[in-house]
Structure 1
Amino acid sequence: MGKRFLFVMEEWAGSGHRMAAQALAEELRLRSGVESTRIVGGLETASPALRGLSRFFYLGMLRYAPPLWQRLYEQESLWNAALKKPLGWWLSKRLIQELLLKEEPDVVVATHAYCLSALAHAKQKMDKPFHLVSIPTDFHINGFWVHPLIDTYIVAHEQLADVLATDYQVSPEKIHVHGIPVRPDFSRADIRDKPNWRVQLGLEPEKFTVLISGGEGGHGGIKRVLQELLHVQEPMQIIVIAGKNARLHQQLEAWLRQEESLQHIVWIRGYEQQMWQWIGAADAYITKPGGISCAEALAMKTPLILYQPLPGQERRNSGFFMRNEAAIVAMCPEDIRTVIGRWRNKKQWEDAIMRMEVVRRPDSAQRTAEYLLGL
């Protein structure tokens, strides 16, 4: 009998948590000694009603009251108290009944913090205990991800390991710096150079190429960024990934049809399953700083311009990249245009790639899968 792995994420809170779980599940399936790798939504399993309420509240805050959400996010002690005591205890009972007794996992991996404390409480109550792993999918750490009953923490960088050990008194033996897991197609795709990726996608191989994306939801002031880039004099290729935001997709296509004498090649795309191809083809990637998006760009050695982070963890991610000089954080579309102009110089573009090495961990999923199998 092989090991049974259970991945608990929250798909309503952004795609990154799901992508990290999928990356590890894919890596584990390539190895012997694995009986099952199941990915589930924590709240979707334990309480669909609470999942719906949480999603409504989260998306509503991001859309209508971003400053308020930022202030709420920073109330770490309040969230910790709720998740670790009343809510955590109640959810743990639901998770045991609806999931853990049926799955009988050997290892449970949480890629979102919502049900992490509930899983820790459940572990205490189970006749067959499991190894509980916390994998924050951002480039910062806070108390939501920490609990005394967690067995292992896998983090993106040594600075996060220091925060766990210093601020939260986590034993260093529990902490492993493997990076944020990205799917095998990203971690193994940087062997192909950018002109080859462009040929595969039907793009002009030697033309400077810019990729713009705002995640699955198409966030990040994409139209304003595109308008600014169209004013660049030297021709280039611009690819916009609108994600699942069909309204944005239609608006951009309609607007471009009205533009006369475009000197740039502009592609408007919807949701792309194979994002590694587009990130691989790009010389510059303009995106909001989701943890997975940044980790994917790092794996592909595509320089990052971070713009309009969502409140909460994405603003902390921006701070991390600024401190480590591993990406450019643009305050306005004009800044983006300036950076693109600099990166047309090959030496400056290569320097931007070199600075990414400080935080780059393309083999995170492989290293983490090997570690989990060896528990």
Structure 2
Amino acid sequence: MPTRVLILSASVGSGHKAAAAAIEQAFQRYPEFEVINQDALLHTSRIYQVAATDAYFALVKENPWSVGWLYDYNDEPFKNERGLSRVLNMLNGQPLVKLIEDYHPNIIICTHFMPAGIAAQLLLEERINSRLGIVTTDYDFQGMWLSRSFNHYFVALDEARALLASFGVDDERITVSGIPVTSLLSEPFDCNGVYERYNLQADLPVLLVSAGALGGGPALEIVEQIMGMKTPVQTIVVCGRNQPLRQAVTTMTAAKAEHFRVLGFTNEMPDLMRAATLFVGKPGGLSTAECMAAGLPMVVIDPIPGQEERNSDHLLENGAAIRCRDLPVLGFKIDQVLQEPGRLEGLRAGTQRLARPDAARVVIETLLNDTTSPYVFDREQRRRIIAVSRGKTEPELVVPPPPDTVILYDDETGVLLGTITPTQMKFLDTYLVEEHSDDETYYLDEPTLDYLIEQHPDPELLTVLRSILRTRTHVEIRFVLP
């Protein structure tokens, strides 16, 4: 019987499904495996589907600030797996539960946290015996992705791995794979052929403006800014499935039609990305990962608060993008990138720090070689992880100084100078002068040390005092009593 693989995504935006499709595509190298790729959202109740898609996109369009609030609110680990939330997820996901149980996969790969949570619950209840791999699809790790049971996590950045490690996840169960992207970005590429197909000039920069698969965002304002640029450029505007937008852009650019190519939905984005000079658009997880794999720097526009804001932060930190917060200066900012010597080359170098074109292959090979049993967070571990996510440190992790130790600091710089015993502190109290009763410092210099030597301190105290003056001529010592 062939090894059965179930890939589960969710059509909340296009990124989760695109990552799942990339993994399915990479499985073509393994014909001995039986692979099914399903949109988990289609196997939930109609109410759940509306809440996860229509309501979400309405918030993005009308109240984007609320999306950021929801992102932060749900950033706490296990929030969607507690009490009523877990019950509602399981009830709304009963068709998905049936799909998983009927198929009984050997391996489950989830590119969205909703099916990951349901699969984890089935593992905990021992209703399935599968390896569960969870593949995140943004550069940041949101707490909702953390499941109570799993085999392996696949994240985009070392920083995400460090966060999971801070939660206590075993490093061997975390792989920095990157976000899975289509293998077309790694196939041989004929740049001249793309230029010829779209009638582009090889000596002019190419801007690739993306309004997303659904054709949203401030595309008209972006095009207006590009039309006013000083640098001669060629622009490809991808309007997705928004035909009215495509018509509006075509009308707007009619006077400069030789410099614009206005497209609807296209399957040629991998070629267009590799032929372009700059990408102008929103930093969705998959769009960003594809640009990085293509070596294409980004001009970030209007990121959705939450995951896109954080994606933007990582792009900027790695020098792979610029961000335009005010559309009236977009043309000016792109002009700067194209005209400043070395600026574009620096951005391209930044993309290489984030590029992971083989992410899908890494996911597959890691899971195929994974022989571990599913890991389960117990109640105490979950409690600790939640505390850490809130910025709280477990009391037992704070190691107090020994009860018989007096700690000495440089009062001006806060530098630790050493430790002495209460008996040694009593000696200093006897022979050094306090300026007032609440004084917590003592002045020490060479003459003072000579005076103390005449009073016959014990050798260990003398060693500490000499070491303090080894790199300084004087110091005001602050002491902290046990």
Query: Same-fold call, TM > 0.5?
Result: yes
Instruction: After superposing the two structures, state which structure 1 stretch, 191-200 or 244-253, moved more.
Output: 191-200
The answer (yes or no) to whether the contact 1:46–1:98 under 8 Å persists in 2 is: no
Q: 2:350: which partner in 1?
A: 355
Selected match of 1:248 from 228, 245, 250: 245
For the residue of structure 2 that corresponds to 1:358, the secondary structure is helix
Cα deviation for residue 323 of structure 1 reads 2.2
Q: What letter corresponds to residue 240 of structure 1 in structure 2?
A: V
Cα deviation for residue 319 of structure 1 reads 1.4
Q: Deviations over 1:317-358 (max 9, x none)?
A: 111212222211211234432342234346322221112222
Q: 1:282: which partner in 2?
A: 276
Identity %: 24
Selected match of 2:36 from 38, 42, 51: 38
> Quick one: structure 1 residues 343 and 4, their matched pair in 2 at CA, closer, same or farther if it must change by over 3 Å?
same
Q: What letter corresponds to residue 34 of structure 1 in structure 2?
A: F
Instruction: After superposing the two structures, state which structure 1 stretch, 321-330 or 137-146, moved more.
Output: 321-330
Q: 1:68: which partner in 2?
A: 66
Q: What letter corresponds to residue 237 of structure 2 in structure 1?
A: V
The answer (yes or no) to whether the contact 1:228–1:334 under 8 Å persists in 2 is: yes
Instruction: Output aligned runs, 1:111-126, within 5 Å.
Output: 111-126=111-126
Q: 2:427: which partner in 1?
A: none
Selected match of 1:49 from 35, 47, 50: 47
Q: Deviations over 1:41-72 (max 9, x none)?
A: 22321323311232221011111111122112
The answer (yes or no) to whether the contact 1:305–1:329 under 8 Å persists in 2 is: yes
Q: In structure 1, what is the Cα distance between the partners aligned to 2:41 and 2:83?
A: 16
The answer (yes or no) to whether the contact 2:298–2:321 under 8 Å persists in 1 is: yes
The answer (yes or no) to whether the contact 2:9–2:20 under 8 Å persists in 1 is: yes
Name the TM-score, length of structure 1 as normaliser: 0.91
Q: 1:228: which partner in 2?
A: 225
The answer (yes or no) to whether the contact 2:281–2:298 under 8 Å persists in 1 is: yes
> Quick one: structure 1 residues 87 and 275, their matched pair in 2 at CA, closer, same or farther if it must change by over 3 Å?
same
> Quick one: structure 1 residues 100 and 124, their matched pair in 2 at CA, closer, same or farther if it must change by over 3 Å?
same
Q: What letter corresponds to residue 181 of structure 1 in structure 2?
A: P
Cα deviation for residue 112 of structure 1 reads 1.1
> Quick one: structure 1 residues 78 and 341, their matched pair in 2 at CA, closer, same or farther if it must change by over 3 Å?
closer
> Quick one: structure 1 residues 92 and 68, their matched pair in 2 at CA, closer, same or farther if it must change by over 3 Å?
closer
Q: 2:195: which partner in 1?
A: 198
Q: In structure 1, what is the Cα distance between the partners aligned to 2:169 and 2:103?
A: 29
- 1:297 and 2:291 correspond: yes
Q: In structure 2, what is the Cα distance between the partners aligned to 1:172 and 1:304?
A: 31
Q: In structure 1, what is the Cα distance between the partners aligned to 2:77 and 2:174?
A: 23
Instruction: After superposing the two structures, state which structure 1 stretch, 139-148 or 315-324, moved more.
Output: 315-324
Q: 1:28: which partner in 2?
A: 27
Cα deviation for residue 126 of structure 1 reads 4.1
Q: In structure 2, what is the Cα distance between the partners aligned to 1:349 and 1:323?
A: 16
Q: What letter corresponds to residue 164 of structure 1 in structure 2?
A: L
Cα deviation for residue 98 of structure 1 reads 2.5
Q: Which is bigger in relative contact order (C-alpha 8 A, separation at least 6)?
A: 1
Q: In structure 2, what is the Cα distance between the partners aligned to 1:335 and 1:326?
A: 19
- 1:172 and 2:166 correspond: no
> Quick one: structure 1 residues 219 and 83, their matched pair in 2 at CA, closer, same or farther if it must change by over 3 Å?
farther
Runs of 5+ consecutive residues of structure 1 not aligned to the other structure = none
Q: 1:58: which partner in 2?
A: 56
Cα deviation for residue 295 of structure 1 reads 0.6
Instruction: After superposing the two structures, state which structure 1 stretch, 122-131 or 134-143, moved more.
Output: 122-131
Q: 1:267: which partner in 2?
A: 261
Instruction: After superposing the two structures, state which structure 1 stretch, 148-157 or 345-354, moved more.
Output: 345-354
Selected match of 2:301 from 294, 307, 322: 307
> Quick one: structure 1 residues 105 and 112, their matched pair in 2 at CA, closer, same or farther if it must change by over 3 Å?
same
Selected match of 1:324 from 279, 293, 318: 318
Q: Deviations over 1:168-206 (max 9, x none)?
A: 3222111001100001001x14x5374453234432233
> Quick one: structure 1 residues 290 and 6, their matched pair in 2 at CA, closer, same or farther if it must change by over 3 Å?
same
Q: In structure 2, what is the Cα distance between the partners aligned to 1:207 and 1:355?
A: 22
- 1:367 and 2:366 correspond: no
The answer (yes or no) to whether the contact 2:234–2:260 under 8 Å persists in 1 is: yes
The answer (yes or no) to whether the contact 1:230–1:264 under 8 Å persists in 2 is: no
The answer (yes or no) to whether the contact 2:229–2:332 under 8 Å persists in 1 is: no
Q: Deviations over 1:136-185 (max 9, x none)?
A: 1001002111123011100111111001111x322211100110000100
Name the TM-score, length of structure 2 as normaliser: 0.72
Q: In structure 1, what is the Cα distance between the partners aligned to 2:229 and 2:317?
A: 29
> Quick one: structure 1 residues 351 and 193, their matched pair in 2 at CA, closer, same or farther if it must change by over 3 Å?
farther
Q: In structure 2, what is the Cα distance between the partners aligned to 1:101 and 1:320?
A: 39
> Quick one: structure 1 residues 116 and 85, their matched pair in 2 at CA, closer, same or farther if it must change by over 3 Å?
farther
CA RMSD in angstroms comes to 2.2
Cα deviation for residue 253 of structure 1 reads 2.0
> Quick one: structure 1 residues 58 and 154, their matched pair in 2 at CA, closer, same or farther if it must change by over 3 Å?
same
- 1:18 and 2:17 correspond: yes
Q: How many residues align?
A: 367
Asked which structure has the greater CA Rg, the reply is: 2
Selected match of 1:338 from 319, 332, 335: 332
Q: In structure 1, what is the Cα distance between the partners aligned to 2:124 and 2:53?
A: 29
Q: What letter corresponds to residue 277 of structure 1 in structure 2?
A: D
Q: 1:237: which partner in 2?
A: 234
